[in-house]
Amino acid sequence: MSTAARGTRVLVLNSGSSSVKYQLIDMADEQRLASGVVERIGEPGGAADHTEALRTVAVELGGRGLGLDSPELAAVGHRVVHGGTRFTAPTLITDEVLAGIEELVPLAPLHNPANVTGIRVARELRPDLPQVAVFDTAFHATLPEAAARYAIDTATADRYGIRRYGFHGTSHAYVSRATAALLGRDPADVNVIVLHLGNGASASAVRGGVCVDTSMGLTPLEGLVMGTRSGDLDPAVVFHLQRVGGMGTDEIDRLLNKRSGLLGLCGDNDMREIGRRMAEGDKAAQLAFDVYVHRLRRYVGAFTAVLGRVDAIAFTAGVGENSAAVRGAALFGLDSLGVTMDPVRNAVRGHAARLVSADSSRVAVAVVPTDEELEIARDTYALAAAPQGG
């Protein structure tokens, strides 16, 4: 009972390549005190770099009496995209840990550099404060080798760290637990397929709270069709683009990550706009939707087989939470798998976790809003700031 001076607030920082998102959460009641985003880092009119962006965050919070210098602040939690095989749980950041995260940059060249910069600047601003790295890959560290291994030469794979790591782990962890809570059951007794459908998209198979398969791989490029990423394709497509198309590695990287997926198929990456165009009979938008849904159904089928028994399918993130059309099409006609939607429930909009399956459905279908920031804050607080024992 001697921790009177310890604060209960956690600042969650999500430093992307061109933006820094932040939330300040009071862990005493898990209330959000502030949230915001500093965008267009490095672009005209935006912050010059991540240092300036984080200083902007500090000024915005300070202006609301919630400054980084507040004694109420207990810790800073950082979203870090790639933890490799080394970081399989939230980790208190030290110089050595930061160096370890930097060493993983070759595995996540689009993401980890910004995470590293965010950590470095936050530590400069508050060197005394515990800072915790929460990894997007960590929830998938439990994947059995059969699911994590690619069928390539083992020595080559091991030498370059090539395996399936999976991403969106904080969301899959949060949503699989929240789904069990919605069903009024212990997560340890429930098998869930989580479909995280945002601008990035991934599926995971969670058996009794433990992740056993996931659609993203070495990088977030594999798996489902996404806003701008292709998801699964024959790796020989890359050789073909090099040999026949004369394209370079970086050009192909950009093509598959930034100009593919829904955007590549129809010129729009926003499912709302695609819905509007489909209603007007737009063929390209319809094709994009159909390819997206077809891939989703393949993963639902595959993960049903992986799990053997499925208790729930949970839709989350921007598309999953909002698009009744995607949910309905993805699970249409799967009664033989025990999945029966209730079209009326599915069409009702809402912000709370809810069931959209029929009462007769053996598999519960749920819409479960994700909250990655809260999950990061919980992990951070548990590790850095909770009162230590008696």
Give the residue numbers marked as catalytic: 136
By C-beta, is 235 or 350 nearer to ligand AMP? 350
Question: Least CB distance from residue 104 to ligand AMP, whole Å?
Answer: 23
Chain residue whose CB lies nearest ligand AMP = 318
By C-beta, is 58 or 376 nearer to ligand AMP? 376
User: Nearest to residue 76, comparing CAs of 19, 137, 14?
Assistant: 14
| Interface region with ligand AMP, contact rule CB under 6 A, candidates 51-59, 107-115, 244-252, 263-271 | 263-271
By C-beta, is 179 or 370 nearer to ligand AMP? 370
By C-beta, is 278 or 306 nearer to ligand AMP? 278
Residue 204 · residue 211 · CB < 8 Å? yes
| Interface region with ligand AMP, contact rule CB under 6 A, candidates 30-38, 67-75, 270-278, 358-366 | 270-278
| Interface region with ligand AMP, contact rule CB under 6 A, candidates 99-107, 134-142, 267-275, 372-380 | 267-275
Question: N- to C-terminal Cα distance for the chain?
Answer: 7
270 binds ligand AMP (CB under 6 A): yes
Site string for ligand AMP, 300-329 (x = CB under 6 A): -----------------xxx--xx------
User: Nearest to residue 197, comparing CAs of 83, 96, 329, 100?
Assistant: 329
* Backbone torsions φ then ψ of 96, nearest 5 degrees: -65, -40
What tokens appear for 208 in the block? 């009794």
272 binds ligand AMP (CB under 6 A): yes
76 binds ligand AMP (CB under 6 A): no
Alpha helices (runs of H) in the chain, residue ranges in sequence order? 50-63, 95-103, 112-125, 145-148, 154-160, 169-182, 236-243, 249-258, 261-266, 271-279, 283-307, 317-322, 324-330, 343-347, 372-384
Instruction: Please list every residue from 218 through 237 that binds ligand AMP, using CB under 6 A.
Output: 227
Question: Least CB distance from residue 316 to ligand AMP, whole Å?
Answer: 8
276 binds ligand AMP (CB under 6 A): no
Q: Residue count of the chain, please give it.
A: 390
- d(CA 62, CA 325) in angstroms, rounded, equals 43
81's CB contacts (< 8 A; 6+ apart) are 108, 111, 112, 115, 135, 136, 137, 167, 220
* Backbone torsions φ then ψ of 338, nearest 5 degrees: 85, 10
3-state secondary structure at position 49? coil
Question: Least CB distance from residue 232 to ligand AMP, whole Å?
Answer: 19
Q: Within 10 A of 327 (CB to CB), how many other CB atoms are there?
A: 25
By C-beta, is 175 or 355 nearer to ligand AMP? 175
Question: Least CB distance from residue 19 to ligand AMP, whole Å?
Answer: 12
202 binds ligand AMP (CB under 6 A): no
198, 217, 220, 231: residue in contact with ligand AMP (rule CB under 6 A): 198
Rg of the chain in Å (alpha carbons): 21
DSSP string, 177-211: HHHHHHTTS-GGG-EEEEEEESSSEEEEEEETTEE
19 binds ligand AMP (CB under 6 A): no
What tokens appear for 16 in the block? 């992307």
Site string for ligand AMP, 42-71 (x = CB under 6 A): ------------------------------
347's CB contacts (< 8 A; 6+ apart) are 324
User: Nearest to residue 175, comparing CAs of 154, 163, 161, 190?
Assistant: 190
By C-beta, is 54 or 195 nearer to ligand AMP? 195
Question: Least CB distance from residue 317 to ligand AMP, whole Å?
Answer: 4
- d(CA 104, CA 82) in angstroms, rounded, equals 7
By C-beta, is 220 or 318 nearer to ligand AMP? 318
By C-beta, is 80 or 195 nearer to ligand AMP? 195
| Total site size for ligand AMP, rule CB under 6 A | 12
369 binds ligand AMP (CB under 6 A): no
271 binds ligand AMP (CB under 6 A): yes
What residues line the site for ligand AMP (CB under 6 A)?
198-199, 227, 269-272, 317-319, 322-323
